[in-house]
Amino acid sequence: MPKPASVVNLFSLAHPSSKVNAGFLLFSLLIAGCARAFEPDELVLIHAKEQTFAMGQSLGGKVWTQTTPVHDVRFTYDFLMRATQLTQGQFMAVGNRSNPSKHQVAGDLNLPVDRVSWNEAVAYCNDLSRQEGLTPAYSATGEVDLTRNGYRLLTAAENEFVTRARTATLLAYGNAFNSNGLLYSWSDGAKNRDSAAGNSHGETHDVGTLRPNPYGVYDMTGNLWMWCNDRYDSASSNNYPATLQVDPTGPATGGERIAKGGAFWNDGGHHEMSANHWQWKPGSKSEEIGFRICRTVLPAENLVFANTITAPASRATVSGTIACSATVQRSGGVGVVGVQFRLDGADIGSELHNAPYSINWDTTTAANAPHTLSVIARDAAGILTSAFVTVTVRN
């Protein structure tokens, strides 16, 4: 069973070669909300089916880092994704792989794996699929098949959909970098490779130690760039059509592959924009690149796992102490083992283990401003799913 996070565990994040000190780590502990420690192999169910969102941005300047033009994307499937970037321990556990990472700390296998090429990441996905009895999603030439249930890299569209979490701003928390970014991302703050400006101090950090986003996913920005499925064609000014795209997997041609999210030594104001990307040759390896895995949920799986926030209502204005409640539905005889309410990614109270799922929230503990209230449900199979609403506190 999951164990509560402890001060001791969070202080173990200090790297012997870094400038991270106890005061900074205590600060990190406080802003992280002391969330329940996650299990390394937890998967998050993303309800994307029949969802449409506007993908991309166009700001001028370094156009090769932007997804252009802005266009609508619709999905016809849900998908399961790892709650965190892939760890060094998870990488080594499949196919007797060695640890390729530059950033290593003795005895700590929860750091994200780095220095893995796109080709090696795809090979890992196919090997893990075979190990778990799933159908590999990649062909021998690296072509992906979204109709297979095997593990794969996220498409750029899936990545941006999860990163945005229904936001339309340049970053998931606004249109410009501010201190909120350091609640969710290990980065160098407002300046690129300036360790005094951010929280990463020139190092990667254990996955899942900052706040999750409303979907319950950690490190969608910062820590390491994450390989995505999509090609990048450097000869084209626009790698995506302007029209509606359904289940896109990226350009059909291109000699590079996209990575998204920014890394520990990048500035949060640019590299962590939801539509920002970088691109490398598929054989490239770097201490700033890792990956995250997902897989398509096929109709035959009949996976029904959803929760609904029944109070407060979306876009409600709240004050004083209010009741927050949710309902959870799970098919297939798999039990729900925990439900956690969160405000802006920080836990409100403890995880609930029995219905009815309800808590009292003292809104005076939050600033008078819009907030994201989410509820994360966890089942006995290690799958998470979320529901979230925006509320405005006005006391």
**Residues with Cβ < 8 Å from 308, sequence gap 6 or more?**
326, 327, 387
Distance between CA 111 and CA 105 in Å, rounded? 8
Q: 288-314, pLDDT tens digit by residue?
A: 999 999 999 999 999 999 999 999 999
What's the rounded mean pLDDT across residues 24-46? 58
Distance between CA 390 and CA 395 in Å, rounded? 16
Sheet with 225-232, edge to edge strand ranges: 278-280, 256-260, 225-232, 289-291
Q: Which of 136-145, 169-178, 320-329 bottoms out in mean pLDDT, i.e. has the lowest? A: 169-178
What's the rounded mean pLDDT across residues 312-338? 95
β partners of residue 141 = none
Q: Could you tell me the pLDDT band of residue 27, with boundaries at 50, 70 and 90?
A: very low
> pTM (2 decimals)?
0.89
Q: 61-117, pLDDT tens digit by residue?
A: 666 577 878 999 999 999 999 999 999 999 999 999 999 999 999 999 999 999 999
Q: Which of 13-27, 145-159, 241-255, 296-310 bottoms out in mean pLDDT, i.e. has the lowest? A: 13-27
What's the rounded mean pLDDT across residues 17-44? 49
What's the rounded mean pLDDT across residues 332-357? 95
Distance between CA 121 and CA 167 in Å, rounded? 29
Residue 176 pLDDT > 90: no
- Percent above pLDDT 70 for the chain: 86
What's the rounded mean pLDDT across residues 136-144? 97
pLDDT at 64: 58
Distance between CA 228 and CA 260 in Å, rounded? 7
pLDDT at 188: 82
Distance between CA 336 and CA 109 in Å, rounded? 29
DSSP characters over 266-309? S-TTTTT-TTB-EEE-TT---TTEEE-EEEEE-GGG---EEEEE
Domains of the chain: 36-301 (3.90.1580.10), 304-393 (2.60.40.10)
pLDDT at 197: 67
What's the rounded mean pLDDT across residues 152-167? 97
Pick the more confident residue, 296 or 275: 296
Whether the CB-CB separation of 327 and 178 falls below 8 Å is answered with no
Q: Could you tell me the pLDDT band of residue 359, with boundaries at 50, 70 and 90?
A: very high
pLDDT at 189: 66
Say whether the peptide bond before residue 282 is cis (omega within 30 degrees of 0).
Answer: no
Would you call 118 exposed, middle or buried from its count of C-beta atoms within 10 A (0-12, 13-18, 19+)?
buried
**Residues with Cβ < 8 Å from 354, sequence gap 6 or more?**
none
Token match 């836990």: residue? 347
Q: 373-388, pLDDT tens digit by residue?
A: 999 999 999 999 999 9
Q: Which of 41-45, 140-144, 154-158, 236-240 bottoms out in mean pLDDT, i.e. has the lowest? A: 236-240
